Amino acid sequence: MKKIFSYSVRLTIIIMLLVITKTTPREFTTLVENDNINKTIDLTTMAIKVVEDSTINKYTVKDSFTGDLTGYAYNCPLCNGKLSCTPDYNIKDGTIHYNDIDYGEVAIVAASKNLDCGTIIRFNSKRVSNEPTYAIVLDRGVMGSAIDLLVPSEKYAYDYIGRSTITYDVLRNGW
């Protein structure tokens, strides 16, 4: 008797569920509309657009400053061969560039704490290059809006960089 009752109860529940689901009105909402006759999406064009947008944002100036540009080497009198922002990055071997994930190979500069570590700047100085120079703030040790460019030697800093006033643009604020 117990088995028959449980079987009939189960059967009744299943029949009720079927009746409820068949008689319940359903509403469907269209979440995406595609009026394209071929009903296709051009993913290549979408990908190119995303790359174009990120490139535009990558070189958009966030802020501009005017300050003195000087040069320094890893072994300058007040230097210890370590960068303040990334102390594990080896510059004692004469490394003067950093490979940034967004901007590629960029120069290394020291700045005041007005600029966060990882900030990308762009400046023009004929003493450095005929093209705009892109640099990343990875060190400290200067005051105000001055920028100190990491160069191969102190002699190079004196002979080629010297001291000049530049205007530089901030392209990325920190990491």
**pLDDT tens readout for residues 36-52:** 665 555 666 666 655 55
pTM of the model: 0.69
**Domains of the chain with bracketed CATH:** 62-172 (2.40.40.10)
Distance CA 165, CA 152 (A): 21
Average pLDDT on 49-71 reads 82
Nearest to 62 by CA among 20, 9, 122: 122
Quote the pLDDT of residue 44: 63
Average pLDDT on 12-21 reads 78
170 with 59: CB under 8 angstroms? Answer: no
**pLDDT tens readout for residues 115-168:** 999 999 999 999 999 999 999 999 998 999 999 999 999 999 999 999 999 999
Burial 107-140 (b: 16+ CB within 10 A, else e): bbbbbbeebebbbbbbbebeebeeeebbbbbbbe
Distance CA 144, CA 147 (A): 9
